[in-house]
């Protein structure tokens, strides 16, 4: 991939938790990183440190905050409530298999969660984050959770929030949003990188 002079937004999903490992939906529950998750977050530090970021934004969840800290960005962290994970409501802590047993055909991005958020509600938050990103107009790094980052990426490239269903994210993964020829062409420059070469992630 060719280098770019345009701003880039690095997205980091938090490290592994017991619930991400078991497949339980983790929205507003404050589940800590596992030792494996902590090690993966620390492993991000030397690579991410090669970048220069105008701001560091994090979800308020401890799993995102801890990942941010262990990756070396805690000192400059700003908590952004709009980066909080999808509110799963009645489906909090439940696996997709368990939900489908009661509600065959259910899809999170299409159907949302009773007592929680639907895709449009998450998109409203993502759109506010994008507006702030574009106002800064510089390289940024964001730490958050899978589903909200998937919606954010979909909205970045002009897709409806349901398009986030097509963008899978692993724990402790790194993705990069940016532009192609100019600011009118937002693109995904990298997605779901879980292992990569030493050096800068600026593409």
Specify the pLDDT at position 192.
97
pTM for this entry: 0.93
10's enclosing H/E stretch is strand 9-13
One of 85, 92, 117, 147 is an active-site residue; which one?
85
Q: Annotate 92-127 with three-state secondary structure.
A: CCCEHHHHHHHCCCCCHHHHCCCCCCCHHHHHHHHH
Task: Give the β-pairing of 55-58 and 77-79.
Answer: parallel
Low-confidence ranges of the chain (pLDDT < 50): 1, 196-203
Residue 145 corresponds to which tokens in the numbers above?
């959770």
User: Which pLDDT score is estimated for 50?
Assistant: 79
Q: Which pLDDT belongs to residue 49?
A: 86
Predicted pLDDT of residue 202: 45
Using alpha carbons, select from 171, 147, 146, 27 the residue that is nearest to residue 91. 27
Q: Given this model, what pLDDT does residue 195 score?
A: 56
Q: What whole-number distance in Å separates Cα of residue 99 and Cα of residue 62? A: 26
* pLDDT tens track for 12-37: 999 999 999 999 999 999 999 999 99
Residue in 14, 38, 92, 117 annotated catalytic: 14
Give 85's DSSP letter: P
pLDDT of residue 198: 40
Query: Any catalytic annotation for residue 85?
Result: yes
pLDDT at 47: 86
């Amino acid at each position: 991939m060719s280098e770019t002079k345009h701003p880039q937004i690095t997205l980091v999903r938090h490290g592994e938790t017991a619930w991400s490992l078991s497949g339980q939906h983790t929205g507003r529950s404050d589940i800590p990183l596992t030792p494996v998750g902590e090690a993966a977050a620390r492993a991000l530090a030397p690579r991410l440190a090669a970048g220069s970021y105008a701001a560091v934004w994090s979800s308020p969840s401890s799993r995102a905050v801890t990942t941010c800290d262990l990756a070396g960005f805690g000192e400059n962290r700003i908590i952004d409530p709009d980066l909080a994970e999808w509110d799963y409501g009645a489906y909090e802590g439940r696996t997709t298999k368990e939900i489908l047993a009661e509600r065959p055909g259910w899809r999170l991005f299409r159907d949302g969660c009773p007592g929680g958020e639907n895709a449009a509600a998450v998109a409203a938050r993502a759109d506010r984050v994008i507006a702030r990103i574009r106002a800064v107009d510089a390289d940024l790094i964001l730490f958050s959770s899978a589903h909200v980052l998937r919606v954010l990426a979909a909205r970045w490239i002009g897709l409806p929030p349901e398009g986030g269903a097509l963008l899978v994210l692993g724990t402790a993964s790194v993705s990069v949003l940016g532009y192609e020829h100019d600011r009118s062409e937002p693109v995904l420059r990298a997605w779901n990188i879980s292992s990569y070469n030493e050096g800068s992630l600026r593409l």
